[in-house]
Structure 1
Amino acid sequence: MLSTPRSAGAAGVTLDPTDRFLVDRARGGDRDAYAALVHRHRERVYRTALQVLGSPADADDVTQDVVIHLATALVRFDGTASFTTWLHRVVVNRCLNHRRARRPTGEITESAHPHVRGPEHAVVTAAEVAAGLRALAALPDDLRVPFVLVQLEEMSYRQAAAVIGVSEATLRGRLARARRRLAAAMTEWSPAAPAAPRSVPAAG
Structure 2
Amino acid sequence: MAEAHERVLIEAAQAGDLDAFEVLVRRHQGRVYRLALRMLASASDAEDVAQETFVQAWRSIGRFRGSSSLGTWLYRIATNRCLDILAAHRPTETLDAELGGRDADPVTTLAQRERLRSVVAGLHALSGEQRAALVLREFEGLRYDRIAEVLGITVPAVKGRIHRARLALLATLGEHR
User: TM tier, shorter chain?
Assistant: 0.7 to 0.9
Residue of structure 2 in register with 1:98 after alignment? 85
Residue of structure 1 in register with 2:45 after alignment? 58
Tell me the CA shift for residue 173 of structure 1: 0.5
Distance, in Å, in 2 between the alignment partners of 1:77 and 1:164 is: 17
More helix per residue: 2
Q: Which has the larger radius of gyration?
A: 1
TM-score, normalised with respect to structure 2: 0.86
- The answer to whether the 8 A contact 1:106-1:137 is kept is no
Indicate whether 1:163 and 2:150 are aligned.
yes
Any gaps of 5 or more consecutive residues in structure 1?
A: 6-15, 114-121, 191-204
TM-score, normalised with respect to structure 1: 0.75
> Which of 84, 102, 110 matches 2:96?
110
Residue of structure 2 in register with 1:180 after alignment? 167
Residue of structure 2 in register with 1:198 after alignment? none
Distance, in Å, in 2 between the alignment partners of 1:107 and 1:66 is: 21
Indicate whether 1:131 and 2:118 are aligned.
yes
**RMSD, matched Cα:** 2.0
How many equivalent residue pairs?
168
Aligned AA for 1:151? E
> Which of 13, 18, 33 matches 2:5?
18
Distance, in Å, in 2 between the alignment partners of 1:51 and 1:42 is: 14
Residue of structure 2 in register with 1:152 after alignment? 139
Any gaps of 5 or more consecutive residues in structure 2?
A: 100-107
Give per-residue Cα distances to partners, 1:110-165, cap 9 Å, x unaligned.
3259xxxxxxxx99632112211221122110110000000000000000011101
